[in-house]
Amino acid sequence: MAVTIKDVARAAGVSASSVCRALAHPGQVRPETRERVERAVRELDYLPNRVARSLITGRTANIGVVLPDLANPFFPTVVKAIQTQARRFDYAVFLSDTDEDADLEVPLIRAMTPQVDGFLLCSPRAGDEELRSFAGERPIVVLNRRVTPFPSVTADGAGGMRQATAHLHALGHRRVAYVAGPRASWSHRQRLRGLRAAVSSYDMELIEIGSAAPTVEGGIAAADPVVASAATAVLAYNDLIAMGLLNRFRARGVAVPERISVVGFDDILLAGLVSPALTTVAIAKEQIGRAGVDLLLDLMSGRPAAARRVLPTQLIVRGSTGPRSSIRPSPSLA
Amino acid sequence: MAVTIKDVARAAGVSASSVCRALAHPGQVRPETRERVERAVRELDYLPNRVARSLITGRTANIGVVLPDLANPFFPTVVKAIQTQARRFDYAVFLSDTDEDADLEVPLIRAMTPQVDGFLLCSPRAGDEELRSFAGERPIVVLNRRVTPFPSVTADGAGGMRQATAHLHALGHRRVAYVAGPRASWSHRQRLRGLRAAVSSYDMELIEIGSAAPTVEGGIAAADPVVASAATAVLAYNDLIAMGLLNRFRARGVAVPERISVVGFDDILLAGLVSPALTTVAIAKEQIGRAGVDLLLDLMSGRPAAARRVLPTQLIVRGSTGPRSSIRPSPSLA
DNA sequence: CAATGTGCTGAAATCGATTCCAGACTGACC
DNA sequence: GGTCAGTCTGGAATCGATTTCAGCACATTG
């Protein structure tokens, strides 16, 4: 059985109240008492039970993290940053993966509520209204999405798309395709908006290819429509889709970047290691996690912090993009 | 404020005890009482506070997961499987990333103890003795390592190395290098043992290259010593190291697989997408997570289950391995 | 020397849910 | 109609830690 405050009290010859005070408010007890308690704590290897404490103080020292898919390398990086920053302030992390199922989000959040002091919702898929229903309950910070009235941390997706479009335009591309991400994804909508604006400002043509699962498989499935579209460059909602495209292009003998240029988004760990290395828009994933924790801590300690942090994105040019038509498009295409 | 059992009791016109009974032991209350309670529960949207419950029942319905590095794609896959299986039995997951710091493991486990019913330790780095000190406390299942007296789920690393070695031998390789993983890693030691045995049974030569961090950077750093060793094939502790090798080899113009064959371990998500695609030993990562949860559930419900599950591994041959010396080793090498 | 104040301490209440126990009520049976 | 068994309910205790409150001991001051 675990050591409780009573065991310490008995060992130190004082009451439980004094043990508690000695640990939580050392100034309120006599030095001698404090020493006896400290000795007993050391001897018994006592660690206060956070669960019991949380019933009184209402503070669990846990934060809940909800995200759509841990298999997408984007999220582990964010979670790791969250972990690291949370630990610095003595918070532990409760994790829930919804497997891209929007309907699972609300019940999961509800179930976690009593065990956490606040939530970091990473790229939540549930509707705005559903999320808003939690507004009164616990502090919530939303990552990679904006939902009034919650503070949020997002990346400048539109800016990233602008950079990518400028890059492709400079390489001579005039007809580009976009492989869309999940419709429920705010990031997707934001990126698409930015892309449309950039494309039209350059007077380029944009072909939007269905909604793909944000996975390698989604990219593989989208590859053939992309080729059929006769675009000379393709932007993917994220790196996994882009890698799926690369994979299918290679299998079909569609040369990258000679026949078609490919741009990803996120700059996940292995984006630079595929071949050709993936040109992509980098997001400061660690910063998102860190900033999210910071905002949440502000919120939980009552500071206002109704902020919206937008982090810059940065185009990383690698081998998967090149000048248009080093090779002529295949004749079968208009 | 959240709805408590008292609110429900008041709304239903019964005592808190009856509310509790109506929900937990429906047979013990009159049907009419049960209905009134159920109606009140629905109207108030009441959800029992798991934290408070756990103080009495000693059951938190949480399981703790501790792992060394979420940035290694191997672990998110395992964690996702754990999540999925845990949710099926109504358990939530507490996650802790130790950042490969063995000294962090013990305090983290201790801190989590009161909030979880049991632990899944993934590839723990702490010493056997330290881990054993938790033997009395909470049920523990160890993944990717064996520590008496805990049940464990491991992959057959030695078998995987045997398959990989046979593959390389069949391709004509006689002098192979191994890029070691973290010394504290049980998997590393197990794989090395299997590799040594296999290599000597084939009468091949083995060059062991220092201990590398199990990351892309670790692989990049190990690449030059590998080239200098004049081995015609290299096995890496894991896929990340292997990818680092591929990356550095390409940068140096060392052709893969012509000049040197590369074999990874784990078969992480993107192993098949790099170029050349990585030959690697696949581990049933999802099965490890699932089996771990199953074992832990057995343990937590008092069933004995002092089992050691060993899952098979499977060599996946891709483009990074080929016949020896399609190109002669460079003359600078013996 | 009494009155007032200060510093510490322990008992008791609290958090929310659960469980044990005693008592109330119903129905059956003699 | 009275007794007994059985069913159901509410009150109280419990889990472990925290906090409030009252009281004790000692010191200071008039």
pLDDT in tens, B233-262: 999 999 999 999 999 999 999 999 999 999
- CA at A24, C1' at C20: how many angstroms apart? 34
Specify whether the CB–CB gap between A273 and B216 falls below 8 A.
yes
CA torsion sign, A31 to A34 to A35 to A36?
Answer: positive
Amino acid at A298: D
Q: Do A273 and B115 touch (CB under 8 A)?
A: no
Q: CB under 8 Å to B105, separation ≥6 — which residues?
A: B66, B98, B121, B124, B125, B126, B130
Task: Give the burial class of B284: count Cβ atoms within 10 A of its Cβ; 0-12 exposed, 13-18 middle, 19 or more buried.
Answer: middle
Specify the 3-state DSSP secondary structure of B312: coil
Q: What is the pLDDT of residue B333?
A: 44
Please, what sign has the CA dihedral across residues A291, A296, A302, A308?
positive
Q: How many helices (H) and strands (E) does chain B have?
A: 12, 12
Task: Give the C-alpha separation, B248 to B233, whole Å.
Answer: 15
Backbone angles phi, psi at A275, to 5 degrees: -135, 125
Nearest to A258 by CA among A331, A160, A171, A164: A171
Q: What is the pLDDT along chain A (334 residues), one digit of tens a residue?
A: 678 999 999 999 999 999 999 998 888 888 889 999 999 999 998 988 888 888 888 888 899 999 999 999 999 999 999 999 999 998 999 999 998 899 989 888 888 888 899 999 999 999 999 999 888 778 999 999 999 889 999 999 999 999 999 999 999 999 999 999 999 899 999 999 999 999 999 999 999 998 999 999 999 999 999 999 999 999 999 999 999 999 999 999 999 999 999 999 999 998 998 889 999 999 999 999 999 999 999 888 877 766 899 999 999 999 999 998 755 544 444 4
> Which residue did the predictor score with more confidence, A297 or B58?
A297
Locate the chain B residue with the closest alpha carbon to A85. Answer: B97
Strand blocks (E) in B133-202: 140-143, 152-155, 175-180
Distance in angstroms (rounded) separating the CA atoms of residues A138 and A114: 9
In strand C, the nucleotides that come within 7 Å of a protein beta carbon are: 7-12, 14-20
Contacts of B137 in chain A (CB under 8 A): 2
The number of residues making up chain B comes to: 334
Query: Does B83 reach chain A within 8 Å, measured CB to CB?
Result: yes
**Long-range CB contacts (< 8 A, 24+ apart) of A32-35?**
none
Residue in A closest to B220 by C-alpha: A273
Whether B333 has its CB under 8 Å from any CB of chain A: the answer is: no
Instruction: Find out whether B276 and B248 touch, Cβ atoms under 8 Å.
Output: no
Name the token pair of B229. Answer: 């060793």
| Chain B contact present for A44, CB below 8 A | no
Cα B85 from Cα A112, distance rounded (Å): 17
Whole-angstrom distance, CA of residue B129 vs CA of residue A67:
36
**Residue A255 CA, nucleotide D12 C1', distance (Å):** 78
pLDDT digits (tens, 9 = 90+) for B111-141: 888 889 999 999 999 999 999 988 877 899 9
Handedness of CA B50, B54, B56, B59 (dihedral sign): positive
Interchain pair A269, B71: CB under 8 A: yes
- The answer to whether residue A333 neighbours chain B at the CB level (below 8 Å) is no
- Alpha-carbon distance of A149 to A303, in angstroms, equals 15
- Count of pairs with CB atoms under 8 A, one residue in A, one in B: 142
A269 and B76 in contact by Cβ < 8 A?
Answer: no
pLDDT at position B78, please? 97
Residue at token pair 């709805």: B3
CB count in 10 Å sphere of residue B27 = 6
Answer yes or no: is B16 CB < 7 A from strand C. yes
Nucleotide D8 C1' to residue B33 CA (A)? 10
The C1' atom of D9 and the CA atom of B194 lie apart, in whole Å, by 67
User: Is it the case that residue B184 has pLDDT exceeding 60?
Assistant: yes
> CB A70 to CB B76 under 8 A?
yes
- DSSP code of residue B323: -
Query: Which residues of B are less than 8 Å from A246 in CB distance?
Result: 273
Interface contact flag, B71 A70, Cβ < 8 Å? no
User: What φ, ψ does residue B203 adopt, rounded to 5°?
Assistant: 60, 40
B77 touches chain A (CB under 8 A): yes
Backbone angles phi, psi at B81, to 5 degrees: -65, -40
Q: Is the CB of B30 under 7 A from strand C?
A: no
Q: How far is CA A159 from the centre of its chain?
A: 18
- What's the order of all strands across the beta sheet hosting A261-266? A205-211, A175-180, A233-236, A261-266, A279-283, A313-316
Contacts 24+ apart (CB under 8 A), A33-38: A36/A12, A37/A8, A37/A12
Angstrom distance (rounded) from CA A123 to CA A185: 7
Locus of tokens 């996946």 = B316
Backbone φ/ψ region at B123: left (φ over 0), alpha (ψ -120 to 50), beta? left
CA distances from A204 to A162, A175, A325 (A): 12, 6, 16
pLDDT for the residue numbered A325: 73
With beta carbons under 8 A apart, name residues in chain A contacting B5.
Answer: none
| Residue B168 Cα distances to B204, B223, B262, B264, angstroms | 10, 19, 10, 12
Residue numbers 29-88 of B with CB closer than 7 A to any atom of strand D: 29-30, 32-33, 52, 55-56
Q: What local confidence, expressed as pLDDT, does residue B300 receive?
A: 87
C1' of D1 to CA of B9 (Å): 38
Provide the pairing of β-strand A205-211 with B92-97. Answer: unpaired
pLDDT at B306: 66
Across the beta sheet with A140-143, the strand order is A308-311, A152-155, A140-143, A118-122, A62-67, A92-97, B92-97, B62-67, B118-122, B140-143, B152-155, B308-311
Structure tokens at A300: 């939980």
Residue A15 CA, nucleotide D28 C1', distance (Å)? 29
Which of A145-159, A294-308, B68-82, B305-319 is least confident? A294-308
Give the pLDDT score at A333: 43
Comparing CA positions, the residue from B182, B179, B195 lying closest to residue B245 is B179
Q: Return the DSSP state at B274.
A: B
| Backbone φ, ψ for residue A292 (5° rounding) | -60, -45
DSSP β-bridge partners for residue A316 = A280
Q: Which of A54, A55, A270 sits opposite B243 (nearest CB)?
A: A270
Query: Is residue A76 within 8 Å of residue B76, measured between CB atoms?
Result: yes
Min Cα distance A43 → chain B (Å) is 16
| pLDDT recorded at residue A306 | 66
pTM of the model: 0.88
**Helix B157-170 vs helix B186-201: angle between axes, to the nearest 10 degrees?**
40
Q: What is the DSSP letter of A150?
A: S
Q: How far is it, in rounded angstroms, from Cα B328 to Cα B65?
A: 49
pLDDT of amino acid B85: 95
The model's confidence at residue B1, banded by pLDDT at 50, 70 and 90, is low
Contact A251/B at CB under 8 A: no
At residue A149, the pLDDT reads 87
